[in-house]
Amino acid sequence: MKLEEPKTIKEIAEFLNCEYSGDPAHLITGINEIHRVEEGDIVFVDHPKYYDKALKSNATTILIDKEVECPKGKGLLISEHPFDDFNKLTKHFKPVRITINAIGENTQIAGSAQIYPNVTIGNDVVIGENVLIYPGVVIMDRTIIDDNVIIGANSVIGFNAFYYKKKPTGYDRLHTCGNVHLKMNVEIGAMCTIDAGVTATTIIGEGSKLDNQVQVGHDTIIGKNCLLAANVGIAGCTELQDNVTMWGQVGCASDVVIGENAVVLAQSGISKSLAPNKTYFGSPAKDIRLMYREMAALRKLPEILENM
């Protein structure tokens, strides 16, 4: 998420009523969570396990709950509650805007787009040429839909990221201010859900096809010409490189990379990154050749036990 105008670390510290370390004129140009940070961004960290990752990330301002040595060229915002202050910033710069009409404010829809009745479109949405949107679809704020995209009935594009912090009072959601980008020639089946990025963009790459009832988590990036069958569930911050195929009911953990041309067979569970140009099966998913050998060995196990 980029700020409309850069802010100094001194200005942000005053807004949050917290201390800071670094040059008072140190500039902040954006706000992002750790998986999508860029130069100029603020990132938050509130656990010692992740201090080093945050301090060495591309972020140039770190919202942190402990005074540490400030890395060269960076700035620190010292907060008792970094998660809450991060939410305070995102809600201030990207507040929730309620849409009471079928189409929100500042939304652009190409003349050739075909939109069925009972579709809701949020604010700041861009819909390209020859897009086809079936009944019951909800398009949330800031979604970008390129030319020739098809979205099946009752799908939801750009809902809140599933990102929470557990507190004694319950779970507190990280405010969602990112978006979704559906690139050219993407097809989305019926009753799919594609979550917005927390502060960045969830991307479905050009030519990719999603079957019915597919779930794509926040900040996931799906490459070109990927094929996802029904009931596939992909957690947040995952990357599918080009031409990946996932068959029915595949489940994928967060923060992994699925290599180009990988094929994952039905009902497999992905717990770690997968190499390109291979076929996988099982839970946890393994190279199909290894799985076949393991399955063959298991079939022999009763006979082995009988002869012991």
d(CA 85, CA 63): 8
| Residue 70, burial from CB neighbour count under 10 angstroms (0-12, 13-18, 19+) | middle
The answer to whether 42 touches 28, Cβ cutoff 8 Å, is yes
Three-state DSSP at 126 gives: strand
Three-state DSSP at 210 gives: strand
Residue (of 253, 243, 238, 247) closest to 223 by Cα position: 243
Helices 9-16 and 82-93, packing angle to 10 deg: 110
The verdict on whether 175 is a catalytic residue reads no
**Sequence-separated (6 or more) residues with CB below 8 Å from residue 20:** 9, 10, 12, 13, 75, 76, 77, 78
d(CA 280, CA 283): 10
Q: What one-letter code names the amino acid at 144?
A: I
Task: Determine which one of 26, 35, 175, 218 is catalytic.
Answer: 218
Active site residues: 218
